[in-house]
Amino acid sequence: MNITRWMIGGLLVGMLGLTGCRAKPEPHPIYLGVGSYQETMPVGKLATFPPDTVIPRMMTIEMMMDDPIPTRDIKRCNARKVAPILVIHPVLRSGEVVSLNEIISGRWDETLMKWSQSLSGFEELVLVLFAPDPNLEYQPWSVAKLGKSPDQYIMAYQRVTVGIRSANPPSVMMVWGIGAHQSPNEAWNEALLTYPGDEYVDWVAISATDRVTPLDGMFRRMVKVVESKIEKPIMLTQFFHQSSKEWDKEMLKALRGPLKGVDAVLVTNREGWGNKKGGWMAHPIFKAPFGALMDVE
């Protein structure tokens, strides 16, 4: 793992009080978190974790462009040493898609400034992921829907990053999110073509929402591509945990082998967080032996 990624990882460790950050450790800490599918896990559920489970250190909170910063949820996350990841979709609550050109032209600058001012009140880590998966054609902001050119996406992402940083929030990190398997699988849709640049990105998130096993096969290619070109910590997001010993073994093997450079893993609950079957007992990843591997408090 390169020094830049470990410097950022060290900041996460320091801000959340996590243990185990060492120079090129083996195995290094992997921060365990929860992602969302159709709905965000209610932050209040952080208080309901059974005593024999590992409390997640990251969790996603879905946002739309006309939403305020969810300050109450961020405070509740910070109180439990959980880093919130604000996943901001360029869509209004009404369902209307926000044009990236509107963002580029500055029409959303006032909103971005308000967000930045709200985030300036937090000393603990907050991550922001804007417009995820531009290499997946179903997204309204995908390269496939933008004339097969990444330019609009890159400029919009950069504008959002500058806006969110405008009030100098002390502990905000920007996340660039891409799909592990691009669609369509064309040269013009290569994920790295949408990279906004090192100065605009602090973390890279790689998702694979349409696959459950094996973890190694889902992410290995894209992790390798990212690691070879970008010196940023990597999180794996929005994959569906399959409750089976075989899946668990495959995941551990991958994280200790070809995916050992990964810094965070976010599990998604396909059942929905409010479902009776959606309790943490259905997620062995939050129990041993993953707790030991994840190296969290």
* Model pTM score: 0.84
Q: What pLDDT is stored for residue 17 in this prediction? A: 46
Tell me if 92 sits within 8 A of 85, measured CB to CB: no
Q: What pLDDT is stored for residue 102 in this prediction? A: 98
Neighbours of 39 (CB within 10 A): 11
Q: What pLDDT is stored for residue 285 in this prediction? A: 59
Sorted by where each starts, the structural domains of the chain and their CATH numbers stand as 27-43+53-294 (3.20.20.80)
Q: What pLDDT is stored for residue 251 in this prediction? A: 73
Q: What pLDDT is stored for residue 18 in this prediction? A: 41
Three-state SS sequence of the chain:
CCHHHHHHHHHHHHHHCCCCCCCCCCCCCCEEEECCECECCCHHHHHHCCCCCCCCCEEEEEEECCCCCCHHHHHHHHHCCCEEEEEEECECCCCCECCHHHHHHCCCHHHHHHHHHHHCCCCCCEEEEECCCCCECCCCCCHHHCCCCCHHHHHHHHHHHHHHCCCCCCCEEEEEEEECCCECCCHHHCHHHHCCCHHHCCEEEEECCCCCCCHHHHHHHHHHHHHHHCCCCEEEEEEECCCCHHHHHHHHHHHHCCCCCCCEEEEECCCCCCCHHHCHHHCHHHCCCHHHHHCCC
Q: What pLDDT is stored for residue 249 in this prediction? A: 72
Look at residues 230, 234, 251 and name the one whose alpha carbon lies nearest to residue 242.
Answer: 251
Tell me if 201 sits within 8 A of 192, measured CB to CB: no
The pair of structure tokens assigned to 72 is 């109450």
- The pLDDT profile of the chain, 297 residues, written as one tens digit per residue, is 333 443 444 445 444 444 333 233 355 677 877 776 545 556 666 666 555 556 678 888 889 999 999 999 899 888 888 899 999 999 999 999 999 999 999 999 999 999 999 999 999 999 999 999 999 999 999 999 999 999 999 999 999 999 999 999 999 999 999 998 889 999 999 999 999 999 999 999 998 755 545 566 767 889 999 999 999 999 988 665 555 566 667 777 788 788 888 888 887 765 554 444 444 444 555 555 555 555 443
Look at residues 33, 9, 1 and name the one whose alpha carbon lies nearest to residue 202.
Answer: 9
